[in-house]
Structure 1
């Protein structure tokens, strides 16, 4: 695992390029700790998650578990904690996807808030190719993005799709050339980090909760978040800047 901090951004790199960044239980725990640290640090406003070498993440490390059922389930439980950590973190997380993002690697990207993909990115829910049920929230994320019929197709067939198809399906925010991937992710992260961070974090929380709530319940959460953001310095600055016809200068407070 490699973690860098710069310009209010935490850049977390899965660093197992020799196995296309496959996830074993140790790597998953390191990722959880990296996100815990990003949550603790007030100077971190945005997180970028990426993979070293030729892939984002090729899923679970099958060699590390083999046919040990207990180890398989223990690893899946740790991966579940990681997915929930990313979803519950009230800071935006950007997945910068190069090469393969398959199985748990695909779902790890889907757990993030925004996905920037290089032209060589490839995505796939390949669990059933080895007779294993999908985990890491794949059935939750994919179904809500592409609908049940397309989700079933992608799961049942294990089809690998390219970055352009992923973008067409709404799975990816933007496709860029491989050499522009890091630059694009950092540019987006800087833009978000200079925004009203408290309001962004609360909006992330509301959208994620809205996926399983009715309209009335969602509007109740919106109102609660409105009452919080109305008391922030950023809101005062935003209103003042609008009245003065200038760009606001947010501080995240």
Structure 2
């Protein structure tokens, strides 16, 4: 059975791949923990000059797996904690992080993709904060990352209406840094990888620190608020209905409770 997270060190690049293509790389708590472990370790490894995130197959990440972990356990506060560790790690390690989004980036998968310093996407990819579709609120730092990039109005639209944002629109809005034709995607990812790997690593680190300070100073506070809110929402009838509808492939009937 293939490992759900692939961590490959190709000096000086650390590549982390979500590797459940049969589930569109839907994340379990264990996968989030493994990815966070790898990112945090990279932060103190002077041999790593770039971290690259991508998903195997046709999706970047479909979000948290609503089928649950191996024992069927639904997402809970431990899932939020693992996702928060990953987002903080991506933002706080000194090395640049490149997210290569080759397909849909949904839910916390969208949050992770947007936590990168540079996010390059295939033109056919899309970004979706799907949380409201199952009675939840955005997490993984999305409530800070998204408005910092595209403003309150568009962030609220993504959070509450759960609309897909196609990669060309995401680039136009400033949600991502690069949208490239599908056929050029791999070449552009490799070009950027080589540019970062051969570039002024210390200068990148200081630039990242300054950008964090000016645009994401409230990230940790946002993560705390998300955790509190999501924990309460996990106990609602709407979340139970959202999960049931997702599994039964039907529209949810929310009661507001």
Q: TM-score normalised by the shorter chain: which range applies? A: 0.7 to 0.9
Distance in 2, Cα, partners of 1:128 & 1:73 = 18
Distance in 1, Cα, partners of 2:22 & 2:34 = 18
Larger radius of gyration: 1
Residue 207 of structure 1 deviates from its aligned partner by 0.8
Do the aligned partners of 2:129 and 2:163 also contact (CA within 8 Å) in 1?
Answer: yes
Do the aligned partners of 2:148 and 2:216 also contact (CA within 8 Å) in 1?
Answer: no
**5 Å matches for 1:71-220?**
71-211=75-215
Q: SS of the counterpart of 2:110?
A: helix
Distance in 2, Cα, partners of 1:29 & 1:139 = 21
41, 47, 50: which is aligned to 1:43? 47
Structure 1 181/37 Cα, relative in aligned 2: closer, same or farther at 3 Å?
farther
- 4+ aligned runs moved over 3 Å, structure 1: 65-69
**Count of residue pairs brought into register by the alignment:** 212
Structure 2 counterpart of 1:244: none
What whole-Å deviation, never above 9, does each CA across 1:213-243 have from its counterpart, x for those lacking one?
6xxxxxxxxxxxxxxxxxxxxxxxxxxxxxx
Distance in 2, Cα, partners of 1:168 & 1:202 = 27
Distance in 1, Cα, partners of 2:7 & 2:184 = 20
TM-score with structure 1 setting the length: 0.79
**5 Å matches for 1:51-70?**
51-64=55-68
Do the aligned partners of 1:9 and 1:190 also contact (CA within 8 Å) in 2?
Answer: no
Structure 1 counterpart of 2:23: 19
TM-score with structure 2 setting the length: 0.78
Distance in 2, Cα, partners of 1:119 & 1:146 = 19
Do the aligned partners of 1:16 and 1:52 also contact (CA within 8 Å) in 2?
Answer: yes
Structure 1 counterpart of 2:8: 4
Moved more, 80-89 or 172-181: 172-181
Distance in 2, Cα, partners of 1:46 & 1:40 = 12
Distance in 2, Cα, partners of 1:100 & 1:32 = 21
Distance in 1, Cα, partners of 2:211 & 2:52 = 20
Do the aligned partners of 1:21 and 1:55 also contact (CA within 8 Å) in 2?
Answer: yes
What whole-Å deviation, never above 9, does each CA across 1:102-135 have from its counterpart, x for those lacking one?
1101110111000110112111111111111111
What whole-Å deviation, never above 9, does each CA across 1:166-200 have from its counterpart, x for those lacking one?
11101121122334323212211211222221121
- Structure 2 residues not aligned, in runs of 5+: 218-257
Q: SS of the counterpart of 1:189?
A: helix
Structure 1 45/103 Cα, relative in aligned 2: closer, same or farther at 3 Å?
same
Structure 1 counterpart of 2:238: none
Do the aligned partners of 1:91 and 1:201 also contact (CA within 8 Å) in 2?
Answer: yes
Distance in 2, Cα, partners of 1:79 & 1:133 = 14
